[in-house]
Structure 1
């Protein structure tokens, strides 16, 4: 499905490359960033936004407003960041970004598909900004604050159930990370979605086998995720998370009465092979020295086909 905004000349491959380039440039200028998430997730988010999701035009300013405060009777102008995905109309899809630490990658995606201005990324993690480092409900592209505690799928399931009962044709999507299957709430949500036959619920999970404390197998091994999803009543389809054709085919998998979860095998080094030197500590890459920063700058720029970033001798945080 193509959204009403998708009129740019970029291919999905170009969008994915643009995502990695923007995250790389941001990380170099700020002496660190969520680089591995850009490596693993770029094709998946590019595919969703540039091809698969049916979304209306953004309803919020291209340059994000400052944080406007929490919802209250005294704050009638409060809004979530979901307006960057367009209006919440019955015919349109809805998207939840479950792993809030993917926010930097999500913002880069919005820019690449023309839903947010590049200036928005300059506000990242600034005092008073809505462009949060850990995406919150007021952050661009976000509708609720999911965190990394496994609540994203259950939030999406609840909305999808309500939409199905109202007869809305739009689908509900959730973008997940594999660390969320270490949380019990995820499995409850899959079982509940199957029980209530919530088949307008779709998910794509970035299976990069990394989490904040290192490689998942060393923290808490999760075994065969696909088999577990099937056992809890969902439909699971494995794909190469960097292969667009496989994702395009997977979303067509029949799943009547069940949620569909696309398991996207991915590499946390894709496009930036020099990150392997930091394995298994990849969650947030803060450069250990100016020499490492300069080496990463040179090597990643070469891999991505761009010039090294001019960040100055003392640039960054």
Structure 2
């Protein structure tokens, strides 16, 4: 289980201790994203399919983080940082206080935000009611996550800047004598960006071995299958050539993720390539391949059929979205 010492800032309501396995949490993430997508007539379903085990494992086992410092039900967007906005904060407080001994998480693909929120709910760091604020005017629970959104520390999008941000953060923390690691959750579409490779090269050159990244290798992006947009070829070979230590695993195998995190990498960043299935647990989505980035229902019959089919696969009742 992840270490969760007492925060320096208490929450408004106590958080219930988690007793579920990582696999159970992953299933809960998929179910929650599915329900939200059906109720809202669209959503990022395939990202939950591919990333559920990775995020469940990070929060439930791997990350060394403290208790949340922000309320279970997020406050409205508080505006941008300024001299007159002293109460500004990022969403990183849901990952605990930024103390020297704690890990930090940079969440790079902003379009995975719904999956990130579902994860925070499933591990007890965010109230289930928070999804009622999703994509609402004035809400910090953004559809495309921003630096003020729950679980987010900086705004990254999917333009390849997440790894650079994390490398700089890890380098600065080392200079300050902080012992906590910096983890990055990123998508494989980011390897199409040159900045990703500059970040790996710089981290290796400076010996930043407190930098760890896990890449959701689901071979999908907004325009379809990555192979049809830009063939990135052997990304393991590339990461190693630029100076990283690489562990390549089945991203749905929690035991494999555990082993990968223990890979020795003195003086080098660690990159875990988690190969995943973008319709894992929701095989009904395969018929939409390769258009899986955002699931939209073409009509009411499509929505109803998807509801019935995926509910059966996930072992839950179809969502009653008439209310």
TM-score normalised by structure 2 residue count: 0.96
Q: 1:223 corresponds to which residue?
A: 233
Q: How much has 1:167 moved relative to structure 2? A: 1.7
User: Equivalents in 1 of 2:67, 2:229: separation in Å?
Assistant: 41
2:136 to 126, 134, 146: 126
User: Equivalents in 1 of 2:297, 2:193: separation in Å?
Assistant: 30
User: Number of residue pairs matched?
Assistant: 313
Q: 2:29 corresponds to which residue?
A: 19
1:52 to 34, 51, 62: 62
Mapped pair 1:170 → 2:180: yes
Q: 1:78 corresponds to which residue?
A: 88
Q: How much has 1:156 moved relative to structure 2? A: 0.2
User: What does the per-residue CA deviation read over 1:85-143, in whole Å, with 9 as the maximum and x for residues that have no partner?
Assistant: 00000010000110000000000000000000001111110011000000000000000
Q: How much has 1:289 moved relative to structure 2? A: 1.0
User: What does the per-residue CA deviation read over 1:167-195, in whole Å, with 9 as the maximum and x for residues that have no partner?
Assistant: 21110000010000000000000000000
1:193 to 179, 203, 226: 203
Q: 2:308 corresponds to which residue?
A: 298
1:207 to 217, 241, 255: 217
User: What does the per-residue CA deviation read over 1:215-248, in whole Å, with 9 as the maximum and x for residues that have no partner?
Assistant: 0000001000100000000111100000001000
User: Equivalents in 2 of 1:63, 1:195: separation in Å?
Assistant: 42
Q: How much has 1:29 moved relative to structure 2? A: 0.3
User: Equivalents in 2 of 1:222, 1:3: separation in Å?
Assistant: 37
User: Equivalents in 2 of 1:60, 1:183: separation in Å?
Assistant: 33
Mapped pair 1:150 → 2:153: no
Q: After the TM superposition, list the runs of 4 or more consecutive aligned residues in structure 1 that deviate by more than 4 angstroms.
A: none
User: Equivalents in 1 of 2:260, 2:30: separation in Å?
Assistant: 24
Structure 2 residue ranges without an equivalent (≥5):
6-15
Mapped pair 1:233 → 2:243: yes
Give 3-state SS (helix, strand or coil) of 1:15's partner: helix
What's the C-alpha RMSD, in Å, of the aligned pairs? Answer: 1.0
TM-score normalised by structure 1 residue count: 0.97
Q: 1:264 corresponds to which residue?
A: 274
Mapped pair 1:89 → 2:99: yes
User: Equivalents in 2 of 1:173, 1:163: separation in Å?
Assistant: 13
User: Equivalents in 1 of 2:139, 2:237: separation in Å?
Assistant: 42
Give 3-state SS (helix, strand or coil) of 1:128's partner: coil
Q: 1:31 corresponds to which residue?
A: 41
Give 3-state SS (helix, strand or coil) of 1:268's partner: coil
Give 3-state SS (helix, strand or coil) of 1:127's partner: coil
Q: How much has 1:148 moved relative to structure 2? A: 0.7
User: Equivalents in 2 of 1:92, 1:245: separation in Å?
Assistant: 23
Give 3-state SS (helix, strand or coil) of 1:261's partner: strand
